Structure 1
Amino acid sequence: MMSDALDDAKLSAILVHPLRPTKVILVDYDPGWPSRFARRAAELRKILGGRARLIEHIGSTSVPGLVAKPIVDIVVGIDDPDDEQAYLPDLETAGYDLRVREPEHRCFRIGEPDEPVNLHCYPPDHLETRRYLAFRNRLRASEADRDLYAATKRELAKREWRDINYYAEAKRPVIDEILGRAGWRE
C-alpha cells in the first residue's frame, strides 16, 4: 500500500468507507481457494474483457499450505485504474464494492460473508503487481519463508487493529525480508 508510515489521516484519505476496527482471524489452508479464484477470474474476464490484461491469484490463499484470512486476493492489471469510468461501473454492477482509491490502485470487495474476495486493480506492470507475484512465488517455493510468514501472521493476529490496513502494514518488514531473499529489487 503506502511506503510512508501509515496513520489514520493517510488511511482515511484513501479509504472509501471509514476505518473498521478488526480482529484478524486466520484459518488453515483451504484447497477450495484456487477454485474460488478460478470462478472469480472467469467472471472478471466476462465483466472486463480485454480491459483485464492480467488476472492473478495473490496473497496467502494462493500459497498451498499457508495459514490465511479466508479472503481470496486477486490482482487485475488495468491499463489506467485512475480512469474509473472505463471499468468501475461494470464492476459495481456485478456487486464489487469499492474500498480503496489511491493513485494507480483501486481495491474492491465482493462475496461477503461466505466467499469474500479482495480485488486489487493496478496497471499490469506496476511495482506492487510485480511485488505481489514475486512474494507469492517465493512463498510457494520456500518452506522456510512460508513458515516464517505464517508465524509472523499468527503473532500479529493476536492483536486488535484499528483497521485491517494496519495489520497489512505490520507485515511489511517480514515481507521485505522474504522478498530480499528472493532477489527482489525495486
Structure 2
Amino acid sequence: MAIEVHEYDPAWPEHARRAIDELTTAAGGWLTVIEHIGSTSVPGLAAKPIIDLMAAAQTLDDPAAEEAVVALGYRRMEFQMPQRLSFKRYGPEIGYHLHVVLASSWDTRNQRLFRDHLREHPADRDAYAELKRTLAGATHEGDSYTRAKTALVQRIVDAARDSRGLPRVDVWEE
C-alpha cells in the first residue's frame, strides 16, 4: 500500500484536542500532560492523516489506566523503544498514535523539540514536507519511509537541541 501524504488540514488540531480530552477523562491522573506532536501538529506541514500524541506519566506501569486507554479503542503496540508505551487507533478517515513517556524526560523529548523547531522555522518545515512527498511517491513500506527521513530529522533535532543547550542524541531510540 502506498504511503499517503496529505496537504495540511486545519481540522487536525481539533481532532487532537478531542482525543486529548477523551484520554484525559479516561486515564485519570495517569497522563499528567498530553500534547499534539508529529507533522499534523505543525501548521502548513503536509502529513499522513495520523494524529500523533505524546503524554507524560510518572510511571509506565499502571494497568488500570492502560486498560482505560485500550477501552477507547487504542491497541498497545510493542516497539523496541526504551521507556515508552505506544498505542494506535485507526478510524475510517484518521488514525491516532499515542506515545506515553516518563514525565522526567518530557522537556527533552526529541519529538517535542522537532515539532517546536518546525513551527518556528518555515524553511525546515518546507524541506521536510518536500522530502515526505518525494518519499511517499517512491516508498510503499512505513519503516523504509521513516528511516529514509532520518538524516533530515537528525539535522533538525540537532539544531533544536543546540539552540536549547541540550546534548545531541540519536533520533532512533534503539
Aligned-pair distance for 1:147? 1.0
Paired residues for 1:96-111 under 5 Å = 96-102=74-80, 103-111=82-90
Aligned-pair distance for 1:125? 3.5
**Which of 76, 80, 94 pairs up with 1:115?**
94
Please list the CA deviations of residues 80-126 of structure 1 after superposition, one character each: whole Å capped at 9, or x if unmatched. 32x25242211111211122344322221124222311111111243
1:179 aligns with 157
| Cα root mean square deviation, aligned | 2.0
Q: Aligned pair count? A: 163
**Which of 138, 153, 158 pairs up with 2:137?**
158
Paired residues for 1:2-17 under 5 Å = none
Letter of the 1:159 counterpart: A
Percent identity (aligned): 35
Q: Is residue 39 of structure 2 the alignment partner of residue 60 of structure 1?
A: yes
Structure 2 CA distance for aligned equivalents of residues 76 and 108 of structure 1: 11
Gap runs ≥5 in structure 1: 1-21
Gap runs ≥5 in structure 2: 169-174
Distance 1:44 1:127, change over 3 A: closer
2:113 aligns with 134
Q: Secondary structure at the match of 1:185?
A: coil
Q: TM-score, normalised by structure 2?
A: 0.84
Letter of the 2:150 counterpart: R
4+ residue runs of structure 1 moved beyond 4 angstroms? none
Q: Secondary structure at the match of 2:78?
A: strand
Q: Is residue 106 of structure 2 the alignment partner of residue 124 of structure 1?
A: no
Letter of the 1:92 counterpart: V
